[in-house]
Chains A and B, each alone.
Chain A
Amino acid sequence: MFRKNLVGWAFLVPLVAYLLLCYGYPLLTTVDLSIRDYTVRTFVHGGAQVIGLANYGDVFADPVFRTALLNTVVFTVASLVFQYGIGLALALFFSRRFRLSATLRALFLVPWLLPLIVSASTWAWMFNSEAGVVNAALAWFGLDGVNWLTSPDWSLVSVIVANTWIGIPFNLVVLYSGLRNIPAEVHEAAALDGASSWQAFRHVTFPMLRPVSAVTLLLGLVYTLKVFDIIWIMTRGGPGGSSTTLATWSYELGFGSMLPRFGPSSAVGNVLILMAVVAGLVYVRSQRHREAS
């Protein structure tokens, strides 16, 4: 009995060690950073005073917080809606399996394979006010150019467009495999019952896809909340903070100026982590609810 347990524990050790070292310790350090009054001196030499939740108070009182929170919500929701919507439409399209569909589907994966810095820089060029291809296309149709990245009204839209484009392949792949797992008989039965293709989608495909959709959206949420590179490369969160999200703000506080403010920066980071955890809990709860019913 004891021996059996020991083997069990021995197998657990790698996982536990991995979790503690690579997750537990950094998380604890971030919490520790966020409740101390760090200056450059105390960061190097130690002895930073514990100031409780004062960093959080400062962060919440900062007018940037409201903008960043609102931008984060808009950015996340809009990205998810479009990524999921377009991804689902494409998945349905490809599930019909026609000639070249496999090749085309592979092409749709390209955004996923490109390094983010390449995608983001390319979008930044395309959206450039002066020399960008988007404004050139608008001009060709006789429309006025838009200051995509340099106008406070458009910068958030531009980064959402870029992020949606990057997120579509992920949604496409997961939803496509979800569709493949729905047995063909169900569709046949619906067709025999005289369901139109919209009705079949609305009452058969979509409900049966729900577990896959939930996972896709949850993963998408976590990925989107923490998006940093695309925004930073395209707009630096600007102009004037108009595309700042909590992720870029956290970076800006900690590393964006010559004088790092580790306390408030990690406080913002923790708020972000908390948001992701809450979303995860909601998901787990709804899963239990479904299983119970």
Chain B
Amino acid sequence: MKRSTFGRRVTVALVTAGLSLTACSSAGDTAGGTAAPFAVWDPYPQFDASSEWVKVIEKCGTEAGVAVERQAYDTSDLTNKVLLAAQQGTAPNVLVVDNPVVSTLAEGGVLKANQDTGLDASQASPNLVAAGEVDGKAYGVPIGANTLALYYNKAVLAQAGVDPASLTDWASLDAALAKVVGAGKKGITFSAIGTEEGSFQFLPWFWGAGAQLTDLSSTQAVAAVELWKSWLDKRYAPNSVVGNTQTTSWQEFATGEYAFAENGTWQLGNAAKLGFEHGVIPIPSRDGGVAPGPTGGEFVTVPVQGAADREATAAKIAGCLTDADTVAATDSALTYVSAIPSVQEQQVAERPELKVWVDAVQAAKGRTGDGRGTRYPRISQPLWTAVQAVLTGSKPAAEALKDAQTAAASAK
């Protein structure tokens, strides 16, 4: 009797222990193993298993003669997921990742260089491939590109008597904003939030003024921040831009009150659903012409596996995903401009309104290009901090940018 009570007690205790142990170690440990199917990770959770994109992945797997397993993550989650997986030796075989992250992952030894796997980026435009270049080696191939331009509300501009075709430099844009606000409408909305999005939106004005990321305190840079600040002061732009993400900024434009919105290629789908007629013009640079915007969009890359044959097969899948024949469908599903010039022409032939975007992408520059690589995040953060300080009136433009330059230069 006594014995069985004892036995029962121990059993109960051990079972409880076992339960709590399994509860702690949770899921995971599912990836990995050399016989496993090829894992493809992408930041496109909007595409489900029945989408064209997933069919393309499966087709490319079949062509390479292997089974593929696709996993979608939220784009802001993906970098950390990949870093952790690489640390555990369970990185995916093919990784589709946002372009400015490529240089970080490459420098961390997570990605294989194209020259080592046989992946070929020569079809894509050099200004787009540049974002994935580290120490003269290219990593991955752009799947497509997006960038920023100015959406405008046709009715608001007509009412204010502004011809969008005449907006070719800052002075004409400024004059147009004055007319719009004079006519009782709102001017322009953009995103100046204190994250990478804020820097992304500021760069067309920064580069359009002739400033360089190597010197944040140049007079050109000061001119760009002062342009934004003057719009806030003159109520051409709402104060909410300081906290706007690109999504909330778009929501402001969608009210129909605003003449202009700085936003990206990815809004084209939503733009078609607006309750008013809209158009798109390139962002003008200070003295005329199209301002270079930052390139957005993902790269298809091959993470390190330590098994050359699997890496070579992964490169075949990556090559197939970015091939001119397959990528057109993917780019139209993502509403991206293709990275390949011949496909760009095809896109414009099918949808002439994409011409503006193709021009903008051709003028665009990679944030991590020019050998900046992993230095870019160290430059971008002081930049958005300075822009916010100026827009909220905490610091004058020259002083804020001087501080930003000091911070960027001293960061490791």
Contacts and interface: CB of A to CB of B under 8 A. Distances in A.
Nearest to A21: B24
A11 interface: yes
B13 A11 contact: yes
B273 to A, nearest CB: 20
Contact of A256 (B195, B238, B255): B195
Interface in B18-37: 19-21, 24-25
Majority SS of interface residues in chain A? loop
A30 interface: no
A45 B110 CA distance: 9
A7 interface: yes
Nearest to A44: B86
A41 B108 contact: yes
A13 B195 contact: no
Contacts of B326: none
A14 B239 contact: no
Nearest to A257: B377
B245 to A, nearest CB: 9
A237 B391 CA distance: 16
A129 B249 CA distance: 13
Nearest to B189: A130
A97 to B, nearest CB: 41
A60 interface: no
Interface in A253-290: 255-260
A34 B224 CA distance: 38
A40 B243 contact: no
Given A40-B105, A149-B243, A258-B101, A10 B9 contact: yes
A239 B21 contact: no
Interface stretch (B42-50, B176-184, B346-354, B381-389): B381-389
Contacts of B14: 10, 13
Interface in A230-253: 235-242
Contacts of B208: none
A151 interface: yes
Interface in A147-163: 147, 149-152
B257 to A, nearest CB: 9
B195 A128 contact: no
Given A3-B6, A43-B87, A258 B385 contact: no
Q: Which of A21, A150, A259, A260 has the most CB of B within 10 A?
A: A259
A130 B238 contact: yes
Contacts, number: 127
B384 to A, nearest CB: 9
B218 interface: no
Interface string A10-24: 110110011001100
Nearest to B376: A258
Contacts of B240: 128-131, 149-150
B80 interface: yes
Contact of B80 (A7, A10, A240, A260): A260
Contacts of B24: 17-18, 21-22
A14 B110 CA distance: 38
A205 interface: no
Given A130-B238, A147-B239, A17 B107 contact: no
Given A40-B107, A236-B195, A240-B394, A259 B239 contact: no
B7 to A, nearest CB: 10
B87 A44 contact: yes
Given A150-B239, A257-B381, A260-B80, A239 B107 contact: no
Nearest to B391: A239
B75 to A, nearest CB: 11
B108 A13 contact: no
21 contacts: A10-B13, A14-B13, A21-B21, A40-B83, A40-B110, A40-B374, A43-B83, A43-B87, A44-B86, A124-B243, A129-B238, A130-B239, A131-B255, A147-B239, A150-B239, A150-B241, A150-B242, A152-B392, A152-B394, A239-B389, A242-B392
Q: Can you list the 5 inter-chain pairs with the closest CB atoms, starting with the nearest?
A: A40-B108, A238-B194, A10-B13, A150-B242, A259-B377
Given A14-B17, A44-B86, 18 more contacts: A3-B6, A7-B9, A10-B10, A17-B17, A21-B24, A41-B107, A41-B108, A46-B87, A129-B238, A130-B239, A149-B242, A151-B239, A152-B392, A238-B194, A259-B374, A259-B377, A259-B378, A260-B80
